Structure 1
Amino acid sequence: MAYKALTHPWAAEKLALLAADLAQGGPVAIYDPHGIAQTALALLPARIAVAGVYTHDSLRVGQPCGDMTLLALADLPRTPAKTVWALDFRHGVMENRLSDLLPAGGRLRTLAEVRLPGNMLSVAHDYLDGLNFATNLAFFRDTAEFSTRLVSANYWSRYGADNVRFWLRLYDQAGQVLHTWEEAVPRAGQAIILDSAEIRQRFGLPEFTGQLFIHAMGIAGHDVVKYALETRGRGDNPSLSVTHDANAWPAARYANLPAPGLGEDVVLWLQNSHALPVASGDMSLNRMGSERHIPIARALAPYETVAVHMGDIMPDLAWPEQIELRAGGHVVRPRYEITQRHRTRIAHLNVERADLRPDPGIEKLDSRFFGRGYLLPFPVPDPARYRTLVLPAPMAENLDDLPVRIDCFDAEGKGAGLHFMGRLPRDHATVCDVSELMAAEGHGELVYDFRDGGQADGWLHALIRYEDRRTGHVAETSFGAHIFNTVMTYRGEPQSYVGPPPGLSTRLFLTAAIAEPFSFCTLIYPSSASWRPCSDTSLYLHAADGTVVAQEKVTVPQSGSRAIWPHRIFGEAALLRAGEGAYVIIRDTTCRLFGYHGRMMGQDGRFSVDHMFGF
């Protein structure tokens, strides 16, 4: 959590002042009680001369710390440095501990100088509690062509939070601060809507394409800021898309970036997540499975947003080839935007795990407990109108192949065919058109199939693309596999929203709209092994202030699916009572459901799709 505490924009400003002061004061002795010295030094905008890094842990003395060796804290009095920097946010504690160990005439500095103000903390007695740093970033844009809308709800009130506020900072494309402000979310279950057009008008801002930093304060129970981000075209621009939250932790690599198809311009939006510049060549791109890296020559200023066109930097690649981003920890989960025939669509890359290794235990999972094991469910809309293209994506650095199969089910949960895609190599470019496997709408599940051998790590991902044969509109999403609806557990699966596994209940968020583009979701009841024959699902329509306006019931058969359209289920009168900002909570205590949400314009068939979030 020290990383988030040091990279918060408010703290980063204070850290820059501290670093400049330390740099002017000569060599610095660092006391590192929590093992964060390398992180702290990497985040300093000014280099400091380090006279030594000290630890109180006798077992760590003599071990490497970057290009230095850890020294014993007991030897601190002999340091030649006149400044001791203790990497702890509690100045009083450090002062008591080190008062007799400071060198003669030495001065003690601590991280207390970069602490957030007390009114920004959710847990006052424990500064590094995760609830104090519930932060995220959002791609945010308001121009003559596009507007964006971030939507969520006050789910922290479920855990007793009664004073939720958002600290928000908007950066323009150059990384300059456009505005910093707070938004109160005082009511339990209140809708959260951050509309780019409204914000721009309220604060008198110019057009912008940048990023929004979000810090949820006064919260309880959940330290992740989840949201859906809608992008709409203005005027004659027919664009409509939705994507997921950014995942607030930067990663070394990201995957499932598609190469351009015929007539497509694929733009990777790189958004520097830090108050430090990114040097030219620090990030690179490569075809998935290739070690030929193409450096991104463009340097990035702090918080800058840069559009990188795949057709320019990798002109020889084409759909369905995939591109890997070596991001070096400089950005959180990036967005990509595809323009084709004046329509754009936005989706996100996914974190490529460095900590995973192939797990032989997955192939040997006891079918009595786990049935088909890990599976990735996805909707298959009317195959006569829509193509459903599935492109499996390696999502771990150490994975060499993907042995996968697609199982198909109709809406009532009956098997509707299967297709073994093979033991796909890491550099594969194999896409399956699932609409050719099914006669009617339903859903598919991507699963492991070891008939030809292969590796599995439990982090099975795929990009799913939907093409409207009639209008040419396209939308896409990506997600990863889980074990669903088994009472036995394996390595944290089936996942739970909060608390330990198994996760056998559902709480999903869906926007509700009284006018076009109407919101919808495809609700899927995936089941790795045999579970309850039908769901017992409640739909709660909430007004923007969190009040429940109406309730309806639906039943989803095991391995089946249902299309949920709030304006059809609840009717016009209920949605009018709920008003602007209404949303639906999908709740089930009998099974874990999974869903994909979006919006659709009936007039011209525009639609958006992404996986839903729960809390």
Structure 2
Amino acid sequence: MLDIETFDNLRGGNVVYKALSHPHAARRLAALSASAGPVAVFDPDGIAGPLLALCPALDVRGLYVQDVQAVGQMRGGHAALALTELSQATVQTVLLAAFDAGRLAERLAPLLPRGAALLTLDGVKLPPDWQTVPGRYLDARNFATNFVFFRDDGHFATRLTTANYWAGYGAQGVRFQYILHALEGAVLAEWEDAAPSGPGGYVLDSQEVRQRFGLGPFTGQLFIHAIGVAGHDVVKYALDTYATDGGPSLSCTHDANAWPSARFAGLPAPRPDEHVVLWVQNSHGVTIPAGALALDRMGAGQPVRLQRDIPPYATLALDVAELLPGLHWPAQIEFHAGRHVVRPRYEVRRGNRTRIAHVNVERADLVPDPGIKTLPEALGRGFLLPFPVLPRQRFKTLVLPTPMAESEDNTPLRLDVFGPDGRRVVEHFMGDLPRLHNGVVDIDALLPDDVLADGGHAELVYDFRFGGEANGWMHGLFRFEDKLSGHAAESSFGAHIFNTIMVYKNEPQSYTGKPPGLSTRLFLKLGFGGRATFCTLIYPASAPWVEHSSTYLELYDAHGARLETAKISIPCSGSVMVRPTEMFAATNVMEAGERGYVLIRDTTCRLFGFHGVDDGAGGFSFDHMFGF
């Protein structure tokens, strides 16, 4: 397990981790360790663990602390010594493990061993023009970064779509710095792009990148760093994968989630006629050693280790059958990632069609919460996990609940299915599902043929009629299959309490505001290459809320100009399918272009949505939307 702290739901992201793991910092740490010789580390802020995990080549001869209560503690594999002993160290260099360390360095100087040089982490800082807040290095806005699964291999291309949503928070002059890593981890290209000056749409297509830099076929990962941001320190995007060789493959996924995790879940085992490939991408400048990663059937407790090294920033296509032969859908797989990778993609290959989806972070900090069993009536059905039921004339919709906490041994669930008008058409008790289960549900098996012919939605809900436990981190994998073409898409997400004025801990929540100020701000990309975009918007409510939503759809172009606004109304607990070509004038959609987008805005409630594109020939993509 890599000794780093990344993210937790109470404190948010660990900025020190991002500062040390940034590819530029990794290069400078490598240079520091190569020239420093024997080193004594002074650790005033308790960051020696991640520092030495991300810079293991340092020849550390002693680690020193000021806090007398910390003396003797293990940090980064070393027992901490009192700072008063530093002058006796036999070292070439003293490394002060702190940023913005000028004053502290001055005070440390009299304690240095004879002849030892003093270094600080200021030597591994990003260049000034990469910093949004130059005067405060460990400000989260200096590290608005993410990774992107990026390839252009002659068969598939990838397309990142986002918007300059920081402009809405007052940011000016936002720009993107990129580092493209090849399959083996080498840097293929580095460049900078300007974001739109206003809240405009932005697209980065792998075909354009390949042409721009004269690259051959590649598969790897793209590091993206947004500079000049405000309001949000997370880079959010939608990523399309589409065929360039005339094949029918098409899929989309959500952003990569910039924080590595010990484990990930929601990885499906293949059907007998499928191959499931997990794209393992090393997120750090240090090698992942053989045996550090493993796959396990969820709930089996028998992880199988991957016995090969993965170089810094390298990408490995791991066929899950290599480690877990004979395991098939609806079994699901747990990925023991050791905090080496951000949220990975997986690829399902079936016949001539390939689809991409992502796994989710499995929480190590959650335990069962007995308060969820006794939520008051004011919170209604409590935690809900909504997902679309696509039009049943064309699509099959399946749901597989996925344990998403290491302590989750059982999950008592019910499935509530709703029509577009908000009327509940069926309740299906799924039981108290054990961690190792095959509890997939085909929505078609629950409904007559003529019910929800044009679609609707369903919600997973906790149901304690036969006992069980809950932690609030309910997740599911949703698979949508075209009944004629055989094309499929899948998505996964977690539960929230939706649209109640009363609160429980940090629920309900939205991207901005607290109850009763919940609101919606969702991003819908437009279609490309003749493919038409669509989305399903769901108005989930744990308890009765406003009878109908007041939802505005705002069409923007690539420069941030708003071209048109349309209004729709969704019944409480209802849903609607939206196609921009039907909502807006054709001339405005054409003017918005492929780099434009739709902002879905509602100040009366929080909506939840899934988006995709349809190629008109049986191919489609579908994943949950993001907001800002």
Fold match by TM threshold 0.5: yes
Q: Give the distance between the partners of 1:157 and 1:66, measured in 2 at CA.
A: 40
DSSP 3-state at the match of 1:375: strand
Equivalent residues of 2:517, 2:603 under 8 A apart: no
Match of 2:394 among 378, 385, 399: 385
Equivalent residues of 2:196, 2:560 under 8 A apart: no
Alignment of 1:126-205 (within 5 A): 126-205=136-215
Q: Give the distance between the partners of 1:305 and 1:86, measured in 2 at CA.
A: 33
TM-aligned CA deviation for residue 497 of structure 1? 1.2
Equivalent residues of 1:256, 1:323 under 8 A apart: yes
Q: Give the distance between the partners of 2:147 and 2:123, measured in 1 at CA.
A: 24
Q: Does 1:43 align with 2:54?
A: yes
CA deviations 1:339-391 (Å, max 9, x no partner) are: 112101100010101111111111111122x1111111000012233111100
DSSP 3-state at the match of 2:322: helix
Q: Give the distance between the partners of 2:594 and 2:431, measured in 1 at CA.
A: 48
Counterpart for residue 219 of structure 2:
209
Counterpart for residue 483 of structure 1:
497
CA deviations 1:532-589 (Å, max 9, x no partner) are: 1110011000011111011110111100001110011103111112223110000001
TM-aligned CA deviation for residue 449 of structure 1? 0.7
Counterpart for residue 7 of structure 1:
21
CA deviations 1:271-292 (Å, max 9, x no partner) are: 1111111122210111000121
Q: Give the distance between the partners of 1:294 and 1:373, measured in 2 at CA.
A: 37
Match of 1:437 among 441, 446, 449: 446
Counterpart for residue 246 of structure 2:
236
Match of 2:433 among 410, 424, 432: 424
Match of 1:315 among 312, 321, 325: 325
Q: Give the distance between the partners of 2:74 and 2:349, measured in 1 at CA.
A: 49
Alignment of 1:255-404 (within 5 A): 255-368=265-378, 370-404=379-413
Q: Give the distance between the partners of 1:162 and 1:67, measured in 2 at CA.
A: 44
Greater Cα offset, 58-67 or 515-524: 58-67
TM-aligned CA deviation for residue 499 of structure 1? 5.4
DSSP 3-state at the match of 1:100: helix
Equivalent residues of 2:200, 2:596 under 8 A apart: no
Equivalent residues of 1:495, 1:503 under 8 A apart: no
Q: 1:515 to 1:207 in 2, by over 3 A?
A: closer
CA deviations 1:482-517 (Å, max 9, x no partner) are: 111112222211123145566610000001237631
TM-aligned CA deviation for residue 106 of structure 1? 2.8
TM-aligned CA deviation for residue 158 of structure 1? 1.2
CA deviations 1:145-194 (Å, max 9, x no partner) are: 11110000001111111010111011111111100000111411121211
Q: Give the distance between the partners of 1:309 and 1:435, measured in 2 at CA.
A: 31
TM-aligned CA deviation for residue 454 of structure 1? 1.0
Q: Kindly, what percent of the aligned residue pairs are identical?
A: 54
Q: Does 1:609 align with 2:628?
A: no
Counterpart for residue 11 of structure 2:
none
Letter in 2 for 1:42: A
Q: Give the distance between the partners of 2:165 and 2:404, measured in 1 at CA.
A: 30
TM-aligned CA deviation for residue 97 of structure 1? 2.5
Equivalent residues of 1:513, 1:582 under 8 A apart: no
Counterpart for residue 34 of structure 1:
45
Gaps of 5+ in 1: none
Letter in 2 for 1:508: L
Q: Give the distance between the partners of 1:414 and 1:498, measured in 2 at CA.
A: 29
Counterpart for residue 485 of structure 2:
471
Q: Give the distance between the partners of 1:489 and 1:74, measured in 2 at CA.
A: 51
Equivalent residues of 1:55, 1:61 under 8 A apart: yes
CA deviations 1:212-241 (Å, max 9, x no partner) are: 000011111100100000010123210010
Match of 2:569 among 547, 552, 555: 555
Equivalent residues of 1:514, 1:576 under 8 A apart: no
Letter in 2 for 1:613: F
Equivalent residues of 1:287, 1:323 under 8 A apart: yes
Q: Give the distance between the partners of 1:44 and 1:68, measured in 2 at CA.
A: 14
Q: Give the distance between the partners of 1:217 and 1:487, measured in 2 at CA.
A: 37
CA deviations 1:191-221 (Å, max 9, x no partner) are: 1211000111111111111110000111111
Match of 1:102 among 109, 112, 119: 112
Counterpart for residue 120 of structure 1:
130
Instruction: Give me the TM-score of the superposition, normalised by structure 2.
Output: 0.95
Letter in 2 for 1:50: R
Match of 1:18 among 32, 45, 48: 32
Q: Does 1:407 align with 2:416?
A: yes
DSSP 3-state at the match of 1:383: coil
Equivalent residues of 1:386, 1:435 under 8 A apart: no
Letter in 2 for 1:299: D
Q: Give the distance between the partners of 1:38 and 1:352, measured in 2 at CA.
A: 22
TM-aligned CA deviation for residue 66 of structure 1? 4.4
Q: 1:364 to 1:73 in 2, by over 3 A?
A: same
Q: 1:223 to 1:470 in 2, by over 3 A?
A: same
Q: Does 1:564 align with 2:578?
A: yes
DSSP 3-state at the match of 2:626: coil
Equivalent residues of 1:489, 1:502 under 8 A apart: no
Instruction: Give me the TM-score of the superposition, normalised by structure 1.
Output: 0.97
The number of residues matched between the two structures is: 609
DSSP 3-state at the match of 2:49: helix
CA deviations 1:54-113 (Å, max 9, x no partner) are: 222333233332443323334433434342211112241232231222233332111011
Match of 1:581 among 595, 604, 609: 595
Q: CA RMSD in A?
A: 1.5
DSSP 3-state at the match of 2:346: strand
Equivalent residues of 1:137, 1:214 under 8 A apart: yes
Gaps of 5+ in 2: 1-14
Runs of 4 or more, structure 1, over 4 Å off, are 499-503
Q: Give the distance between the partners of 1:373 and 1:539, measured in 2 at CA.
A: 28
Letter in 2 for 1:247: N
